[in-house]
Amino acid sequence: MKPTVQIEYCPQCGWLLRAAWMAQELLTTFRDELYGVTLHPSETTGRFTVSVGDAILWDRKQEGRFPEPKELKQRLRDQIAPDKKLGHSDR
């Protein structure tokens, strides 16, 4: 079974659009490696967390900011497809 990424976002904060954008970025780059991406509205305000299985790829509270797509892609690649080349997103 391929891995599923989960993006937990704060709906009251208006972060659905950003979460959906990130989902599309990941699904475009990892189309063959992922089972899918789940968009999950958080019950806790201010949350924006991206995870795959037990691994947290990004936690806005910890990092102090939102991720750029390229940061997420690098971290996801390292978790699920370490040999995959990311082209421009590797620089």
Angle subtended at Cα 36 by Cα 30 and Cα 75, rounded to the nearest 5 degrees: 45
Q: Which is nearer to its own copies, 14 or 64 (CB)?
A: 14
Dig out the tokens for 26 from the structure.
Answer: 């990941």
Which of 26-34, 51-59, 60-68, 78-86 is the region at the interface with its own copies (rule: CB under 8 A)? 26-34
Which of 35-43, 49-57, 59-67, 76-84 is the region at the interface with its own copies (rule: CB under 8 A)? 35-43
Residue type, 9: Y
Binding-site size for its own copies (CB under 8 A) equals: 19
Give the whole-angstrom CA distance, residue 12 versus residue 71.
25
Q: Is 57 in the site for its own copies (CB under 8 A)?
A: no
